Amino acid sequence: MSNNIKISPEDKLLFYIGHETIPELINYLKDKNVVHIVLVSDENEYRALGARIEKALCEAGFDVDNIVLHGEKIGANEEYIVQTLLPANDSEQLFIAVGSGTVTDLVRFVSYRAKSYFISLPTAPSVDGFASNGSAMFIRDYKQTIMSRPPCAIFADMETLCNAPKPLIAAGFGDMIGKFTALADWKLANLLNGDIYDSAIAERSRIARNKVVSQVNGLEKDRETSIKSVMEALYEEGLCMLEFGNSRPASGAEHQLSHYWEMKLLRENRPAVFHGSKVGLASIWIAKYFEMIREMSKEEVVNRLENTPLFDTEVEIQKIKRGYGDKISDFIVKTQEVHLSMTEEKYNSLKTNIINNWETLQEIALEVPSPDEIISMLKAVGGITQPEAIGLTDADVRDALEYAQYVRKAFTILNISQMLGWKPVV
């Protein structure tokens, strides 16, 4: 059956959160003239919500192709792109992604490439990417964000969100606690590297983060209110990224560490870890770096920078190869073109920038809580505060602090930590 869907990419994204998900979804689909639906989930997500949705849609007369992804390591990668794409026909489709990060990223990518639309039905308040237009994909084990299209609607079912596994809820808090360092990093990059900064969007991201922080002790007392706040904040972060055009309002060095671990775990065939758990954990070390900014005198900064010559390009490339392995280091080297072609003149002007702006950097660093404060927020929500709790070692942490700056093009505190000769504290 073919669709004649009345949805346009210009339509405003619809966000529903509440207890009437199924009738609201059905009304929306009827209103948009949808006939055929490709419903995508994995086994857990199908059990949590997908089965109920499939039954209700079939009963309401929709033509549903149900895809339940199988496998021990479901990823937004080549294998699962094909599995998601296969049942789609060659006309405009309406996909429904039932799930958290991976399924949503897969469907976001596939629906866009199939010139179609998708609706997101989150099963856990676990990541901030539901509303975004970037799909985090692993192609040949290299993690990259591929521009796609945001969902046309998000229906967040309160009952499903409240019944989500505790570690996934804690991961959502972790992703939001990571905004302390992300926002400070964005300002730092604007000050030292001239990166574009949007103070209105930064403020919205800050408000969303504070909303979540005010709920860290509320999970036990009023679970529903607390989870609703987190989901709304995660949605708002997605909008901030969407409106700014990339993930900068919501991601800084803590996300670089998380991405680094994600690729390392995949490369070494080790179990994957929830995105927000890695981000929350990483923000402890990045908060430590911001603490070092607060505590270091300008005199010491001058001394340290005088003793840090510009890197040798070949040595830097070898370092990237050590950090990323044979399979993906060529991709990484390519993303670092600007960094690797740094001239003596540019390097010296960066040093001058750091010295001249040291007091302002210390003011920016005041926005970041101490590592202990980050730890107690994470503990309050049952989050991860020790690497070994998610199968990471001290060496993984050291490697991330050493190599994660190359993960993306973004300028972050990791760039200046190297120039200041900060040794990773593990």
Contacts for 320 with CB less than 8 Å, ≥ 6 apart: 329, 332, 333, 336, 403, 406
Distance CA 255, CA 16 (A): 28
By beta carbon distance, the residue nearest Zn ion is: 175
Q: Which stretch binds Zn ion (CB under 5 A): 172-180, 260-268, 290-298, 303-311?
A: 172-180
CB of 301 to Zn ion, least distance (A): 30
Which residue's CB is nearer to Zn ion, number 157 or number 175?
175
Determine how many CB atoms are found less than 10 A away from the CB of residue 342: 15
CB of 167 to Zn ion, least distance (A): 16
13: left (phi over 0), alpha (psi -120 to 50) or beta: beta
Which residue's CB is nearer to Zn ion, number 66 or number 123?
123
Contacts for 87 with CB less than 8 Å, ≥ 6 apart: 38, 65, 67
CB of 359 to Zn ion, least distance (A): 30
Q: Which stretch binds Zn ion (CB under 5 A): 70-78, 110-118, 169-177, 303-311?
A: 169-177
Assess contact for 210 and 249: CB atoms under 8 A: no
Number of residues that bind Zn ion (CB under 5 A): 1
Which residue's CB is nearer to Zn ion, number 175 or number 402?
175
Which residue's CB is nearer to Zn ion, number 21 or number 256?
256
Cα end-to-end distance, the chain, whole Å: 58
CB of 275 to Zn ion, least distance (A): 6
Assess contact for 178 and 279: CB atoms under 8 A: yes
Residues 250-309 interacting with Zn ion (rule: CB under 5 A): none
CB of 258 to Zn ion, least distance (A): 7
Contacts for 168 with CB less than 8 Å, ≥ 6 apart: 100, 124, 125, 126, 274
Per-residue binding letters, 124-163, with Zn ion (x by CB under 5 A)? ----------------------------------------
CA 409 to chain centre: 15
Distance CA 138, CA 149 (A): 18
Distance CA 390, CA 383 (A): 11
Distance CA 230, CA 66 (A): 29
Residues 35-54 interacting with Zn ion (rule: CB under 5 A): none
Assess contact for 208 and 236: CB atoms under 8 A: yes
Which residue's CB is nearer to Zn ion, number 17 or number 250?
250
CB of 24 to Zn ion, least distance (A): 27
CB of 300 to Zn ion, least distance (A): 33
Which residue's CB is nearer to Zn ion, number 117 or number 180?
180
CB of 179 to Zn ion, least distance (A): 9
For the record, the structure tokens of 266 come out as: 């995949």
CB of 8 to Zn ion, least distance (A): 29
Q: Which of 54, 175, 236, 254 binds Zn ion (CB under 5 A)?
A: 175
What helix, strand, coil percent values describe the chain, rounded to 5? Answer: 60, 10, 30
Q: Which stretch binds Zn ion (CB under 5 A): 115-123, 173-181, 184-192, 264-272?
A: 173-181
Which residue's CB is nearer to Zn ion, number 54 or number 175?
175
Which residue's CB is nearer to Zn ion, number 153 or number 177?
177
Q: Which residues pair with 40 in a beta bridge?
A: 67, 97
Which residue's CB is nearer to Zn ion, number 29 or number 164?
164
For the record, the structure tokens of 236 come out as: 């708002």
Q: Which stretch binds Zn ion (CB under 5 A): 77-85, 168-176, 260-268, 298-306?
A: 168-176
| Residue numbers at the binding site for Zn ion (CB under 5 A) | 175
